[in-house]
Amino acid sequence: MAKCQICGKKPSFGHNVSFSKRRTNRMWRPNIQKTTITNKDGSSVQVKACTQCIRTMSKVR
């Protein structure tokens, strides 16, 4: 399932609204990537994370 293991972001639902105000179902999916992160103790773990969390983790180093 497309769910970020760090922040818990998952698909959200809504509607496409056309010019004539007709509504059709729509789904927004987060951009989930498999990445390897290094813990404070030096061990590395592979997680599924959204790109926003990957960017945030690269700043924290």
The rounded distance, in Å, linking the Cα atoms of 59 and 22 is: 43
Cα distances (angstroms) measured from residue 53 to each of 21, 23, 25, 40: 35, 32, 27, 17
2, part of any domain: no
How many domains does the chain divide into?
Answer: 1
- Residue 32: give the domain boundaries: 12-60
Q: pTM of the full predicted structure?
A: 0.76
7 domain residue, yes or no: no
Residue 60 has pLDDT above 80, yes or no: no
**Would you say residue 5 lies in a domain?**
no
> Is the residue at 20 inside a domain?
yes
Please tell me the distance from the alpha carbon of residue 30 to that of residue 33, in angstroms, as a whole number: 9
* pLDDT tens-digit map of 10-57: 999 999 999 999 999 999 999 999 999 888 888 999 999 999 999 998
Query: For residue 22, what is the domain's CATH number?
Result: 2.30.170
